[in-house]
Amino acid sequence: QLLTLKISRDRAKQIEEKKNEEKRRSEEDTEFAREWVASIEEKRQREERERIAASKRNSEMREVLDSQVHDLEERKRLQMEELER
């Protein structure tokens, strides 16, 4: 009977250890998934900030170019007026 009891205890201990190991792995998998999702979200936010910054730069560049074109057109108009006199 003592041998049976010892075997039973050993088996119960093995089962408990296996459950603990499965729980630990599950927690690790959950943590990995959380970190993975967080990294994807960080990447999405970074790309969005970069897109907004690029859009702003493009808009500013467009304004500068529009201004330059306007200045050139005005200069050309004034030159044409001078030639007509």
3-18 pLDDT per residue, tens:
899 999 999 999 999 9
Residue 62: C-alpha distances to residues 55, 66, 82 (Å): 10, 6, 30
- With b for 16 or more beta-carbon neighbours within 10 A and e for fewer, the 32-52 pattern comes to eeeeeeeeeeeeeeeeeeeee
Q: What is the pLDDT of residues 49-61, one digit of tens each?
A: 999 999 999 999 9
SS3 category, 1: coil
Helices (H), the chain: 2-84
| pTM for the model | 0.60
